[in-house]
Amino acid sequence: MTVQTWTYILVGITFALYIGIAIWSRAGSTKEFYVAGGGVSPLANGMATAADWMSAASFISMAGIISFAGYDGSVYLMGWTGGYVLLALLLAPYLRKFGKFTVPDFIGDRYYSNSARMVAVFCALLVSFAYVAGQMRGVGLVFSRFLEVDINTGVVIGMVIVLFYAVLGGMKGITYTQVAQYCVLIFAFMVPAIFISIQMTGNPIPQLGMGSTVNDGSGMYLLDKLDGLSTALGFNEYTNGSKSTIDVFAITMALMVGTAGLPHVIVRFFTVKRVKDARKSAGLALLLIAILYTAAPAVAVFARTNMINTVSNREYADMPDWFTKWEKTKLIKFDDKNGDGKIQYVADKAKNELTVDNDIMVLANPEIANLPAWVIALVAAGALAAALSTAAGLLLVISASVSHDLIKKVFNPGISEKGELWAARGAATVAVVIAGYFGINPPGFVAAVVALAFGLAAASFFPAIVLGIFYKKMNKEGAITGMVVGISLMIFYILKFKFGVFDGGKGAVAGLTKDWWFGISPEGFGTIAMIVNFVVSIMVMQFTPSPPEKVQEIVEDIRIPSGVGEAVDH
Amino acid sequence: MSDKQKKASAYWRENVRYLFILLAIWFAVSYGAGILFKDNLDEIKIGGFKLGFWFAQQGSIYVFVVLIFVYVRLMNKLDKKYGYNE
């Protein structure tokens, strides 16, 4: 059977499975729609959180980015896992004890103010929309390459599927489809990783294969070999980076804190029964995520070595089938500058003839390594599972922000349970359509904004939530000013250094890197914006009235794990 | 302060102490071993891995997982000690 037939079969089976689960787990109440009824087991929540978290970026792009960036790629590995330590220790247990439906719910109640709630809603919508557009793009990419349909048709198919189970099932439907999607995506990621690890190093465990010797009888360690290949072509040593230490530090911190502040991850912890379940499911989620995140750097090393060996200084005419197929999607470009018919892949931009998009390394890896057709198809199904599960989680945040935080809490408190449920479904539908539109017509800034969503979350939510829990005296004036200053500063820095808005547009961006504050890139600036948020909050608090007694009592109460109610409407 | 409040603040103090210790380890393995002292640790090689590079791409993640499970255990014990378990 061909790759395409296999892909149709595997994608068909997994989609049927997701739809089946959605029908079985329809939501009947707002509580089921927002927090899956509040009785999800820690293991199911751990799996759902892992799938929710691991997006098209983790599955498709991350290993590819690391593969080109080497050590510099470590920021994603540490950043996107270390955030779970913060989440488990500083946020999840207390937010579960607090027991409401959304993150703006916590901010609005803890800071006794609808203005605070509105600021939080704005931040949640900004972060989630930026993120979901990227997922839809990932869905389209997989469809276009593996099923050879038009990329736009792919986006529309993805929209219909997500719409179906997110709108019908709400959080309940999403949770159980995410459990299934975790199984699909981890299997799809690990099978080719194990195959290639055996092929290249003889070690079936990719995490160990990465540090083993190459299987070609030379007795050379794989990483040493790759360092050698890289330097020979003029690139940096793979195991050494080119970013400054302070920038690596800042980016890692921004990604960690941003991860802990992402609303679609935080809400997952509202779905379990007890505080101790919230702690445990954070641990399980990270364990399940770590399986992929420790294999990804190994995949990156295998893919990079394989690619250099396959293309470097070889005849263009002799390139394998996958090369030309990816050329069609324009994600591989070859330009024979010196006209010798061979591919020169080198660091020197003037001489380099080959550009390879980060995103294809994971998708093309099984083909580069000549793995069987079903493995290649499996990767397509896994990538779709990763993109769809994250998209669904984000859509739920968007719909809850609109129906619960805006309509129910601010504009129409008298709305009936049934009315709110329909509002939630309507908001989810509109959100899918908008996300799909951006998936089909990606504005140039989507990719940049996805990367910066973490900075935005770090600059806004994280300080407000942590202070809300650990600093009883923190008041609404402090928290609101902190959030507004933090996110404004972050947006300003992005506009200035990512888009060159104040210096004559995109073309100026490259020349501005020397002006970076403290030598920190826009990706890492979330760290500074977060610190500014903390400092401003605490300073403003000194000069404004303390929070009411009742709020201080709430804070004392959320610090004690017992006596937890189920997540309730109030 | 009532007995109930005293118990609550004693529990909170122990909780915060655990957080400091665990987050110190969290910081040491990622920012310390994986970034600030990476070059020094790279002098040491274990198998094919330079140690600093290993911490940045593998080791810190393993430690993170262990940290959360240690925290879960510590807190479950602490909850029991103060009668907050249910």
DSSP code for A441: S
**Which residues 454-493 of A are in CB contact (within 8 Å) with B?**
470
**Residue closest to A570 by CA, chosen among A33, A171, A109:** A109
Half-sphere exposure of B32 (CA within 13 A, CB side): 10
Chain A residues touching B60 at Cβ < 8 A: 77-78, 81-82
CB-CB neighbours of B23 under 10 Å: 16
**Residue closest to B18 by CA, chosen among B78, B62, B80, B84:** B78
Tens digit of pLDDT at every position of chain A (570 positions): 788 889 889 989 998 898 888 888 877 788 888 888 778 899 999 999 999 999 887 888 888 889 988 999 999 999 999 999 999 999 999 999 988 888 898 999 999 999 999 989 988 888 888 788 777 777 777 777 777 777 788 888 888 888 887 777 788 888 999 999 999 999 999 999 999 999 899 999 999 999 999 888 788 999 999 999 999 888 888 999 888 999 999 999 999 999 998 888 998 998 898 999 999 999 999 999 999 999 999 999 999 998 888 888 888 888 888 888 888 877 788 988 888 888 888 888 888 998 888 777 888 888 888 888 898 889 989 988 988 888 888 888 888 888 888 888 888 888 888 888 888 889 989 988 888 887 777 665 555 666 678 888 899 989 999 999 999 999 999 999 999 999 999 989 988 888 888 887 777 777 888 889 998 998 899 999 999 999 999 999 999 999 999 999 999 999 998 877 655 544
Shortest CB distance from B57 goes to which of A74, A221, A276? A74
**Chain A residue with minimum CA distance to B30:** A78
Shortest CB distance from A222 goes to which of B8, B11, B48? B48
Whole-angstrom distance, CA of residue A45 vs CA of residue A64: 28
Q: Find the mean pLDDT for residues B19-28.
A: 97
Q: Does the distance separating the beta carbons of A283 and B68 come in below 8 Å? A: yes
Structure tokens given for A247 = 């920038």
**Chain A residue with minimum CA distance to B45:** A211
Structure tokens given for A295 = 């294999």
CB-CB neighbours of B5 under 10 Å: 10
Residue A147 has φ and ψ, to the nearest 5°, of -105, 0
* Domains of chain B, residue spans: 3-81
Whole-angstrom distance, CA of residue A565 vs CA of residue A99: 7
Q: Does the distance separating the beta carbons of B34 and A280 come in below 8 Å? A: no
Segments in A147-204 forming alpha helices (H): 151-201
Distance from CA of A86 to the nearest CA of B (A): 8
**Which residues 75-104 of A are in CB contact (within 8 Å) with B?**
77-78, 81-82, 84-85, 88-90, 93
**Chain A residue with minimum CA distance to B69:** A283
Shortest CB distance from B48 goes to which of A221, A563, A564? A221
**Which residues 279-308 of A are in CB contact (within 8 Å) with B?**
279-280, 282-283, 286-287, 290, 293-294, 297
Chain B residues touching A77 at Cβ < 8 A: 56-57, 60-61
CATH code of domain A3-204+245-287+372-558: 1.20.1730.10
Distance from CA of A467 to the nearest CA of B (A): 14
Shortest CB distance from A294 goes to which of B38, B61, B86? B61
**Chain B residue with minimum CA distance to A75:** B56
Q: Does the distance separating the beta carbons of B19 and A89 come in below 8 Å? A: yes
A142-160 burial by CB neighbour count: b if 16+ within 10 A, else e? bbbbbbeeebeebbbbbbe
Q: Does the distance separating the beta carbons of B57 and A77 come in below 8 Å? A: yes
What is the number of residues in chain A? 570
Chain A residues touching B68 at Cβ < 8 A: 84-85, 88-89, 279, 282-283, 286
Chain B residues touching A82 at Cβ < 8 A: 26, 30, 60, 64
Shortest CB distance from A561 goes to which of B48, B71, B79? B79
Interface test with B, best of A237, A239, A301 (most B CBs within 10 A): A239
Q: Does the distance separating the beta carbons of A82 and B60 come in below 8 Å? A: yes
**Chain B residue with minimum CA distance to A80:** B61
Give pLDDT, residue A520.
92
* Assembly ipTM: 0.96
Contact in structure between A456 and A87 (CB atoms under 8 Å): no
A209 touches chain B (CB under 8 A): no
Whole-angstrom distance, CA of residue A350 vs CA of residue A371: 34
Give pLDDT, residue A9.
92
* Domains of chain A, residue spans: 3-204+245-287+372-558
**Block residue for tokens 């276009």:** A144
Give pLDDT, residue A570.
46
**Residue closest to A137 by CA, chosen among A362, A384, A429, A452:** A384
